[in-house]
């Protein structure tokens, strides 16, 4: 097992107070057209409740690099890619996934792989979703959970650790400059529910209506 800071482990154990995922089996994650998500293919993650606010990267916490994963209120966001374990030809729910975001720009020396990052002291109980992760590390393992239909949320509860870790849902946290950052833990708003659309089939229009019938 890779070395993990003690404060990070303690914070995880204190923070995760929701029930583990039980009684459910993995199934394909579906896009809004009803097609299974394909590994390493770009998808937009649209917020359920609005026509904008897609997922992208930004500078928060008065730092520069690596970039954190944020919700941009004025765009559909950037394509994100999912890598499941093994040779699966679809992206499953309830399974550890490596998530990357397809975005060029600053901080090119850091990977675009999502990871959790403790904000504040070891007992703050607040984690941002950031980048710069290494595939296979504990802090890069996210799951997708289906709410109903084509509506999903992201959760953090890595499998294969030597202690019981229950799942916590990723929501948004408003940073000091008003930026909405994907986060979980203390002070986080309601879960960030999303629907997925294959990026290669979407006409890029800044304010296009993202609603579906």
Q: Which pLDDT tens digit goes with each residue over 25-64?
A: 889 999 999 999 999 999 999 888 665 678 999 988 777 7
Domains in the chain, number = 1
Which CATH number characterizes residue 55's domain? 2.80.10.50
Q: Is 194 a domain residue?
A: yes
Q: How much is the pLDDT for 52?
A: 62
Q: Is 195 a domain residue?
A: yes
Q: What mean pLDDT value characterizes the chain?
A: 82
Q: Is 210 a domain residue?
A: no
Give the integer Cα–Cα distance in Å for 170 and 114: 12
Q: Is 209 a domain residue?
A: no
Q: Is 184 a domain residue?
A: yes
Give the integer Cα–Cα distance in Å for 183 and 128: 4
pTM: 0.82
- The SS3 of residue 10 is helix
Instruction: Quote the domain boundaries for residue 74.
Output: 6-19+29-201
Cα angle 93-87-66, degrees, rounded to a multiple of 5: 65
């Amino acid at each position: 097992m890779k070395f993990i800071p003690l404060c990070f482990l303690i914070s995880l154990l204190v923070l995760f107070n929701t029930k583990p995922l039980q009684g459910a089996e993995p199934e394909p994650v579906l896009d809004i057209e009803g097609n299974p998500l394909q590994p390493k293919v770009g998808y937009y993650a649209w917020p359920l409740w609005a026509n904008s606010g897609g997922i992208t990267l930004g500078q928060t916490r008065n730092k520069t690099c690596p970039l954190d994963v944020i919700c941009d209120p004025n765009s559909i966001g950037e394509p994100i890619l999912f890598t499941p374990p093994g040779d699966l030809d679809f992206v499953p729910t309830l399974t550890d996934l490596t998530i990357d975001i397809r975005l060029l720009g600053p901080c090119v020396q850091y990977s675009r792989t999502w990871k959790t990052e403790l904000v504040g002291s070891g007992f703050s109980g607040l984690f941002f979703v950031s980048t710069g992760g290494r595939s296979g590390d504990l802090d890069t393992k996210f799951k997708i959970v289906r709410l109903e239909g084509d509506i999903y949320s992201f959760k953090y509860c890595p499998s294969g650790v030597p202690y019981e870790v229950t799942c916590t849902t990723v929501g948004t946290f408003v940073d000091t400059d008003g930026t909405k950052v994907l986060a979980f833990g203390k002070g986080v708003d309601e879960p960030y529910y999303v629907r997925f659309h294959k990026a290669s089939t979407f006409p890029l229009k800044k304010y296009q209506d993202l609603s579906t019938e």
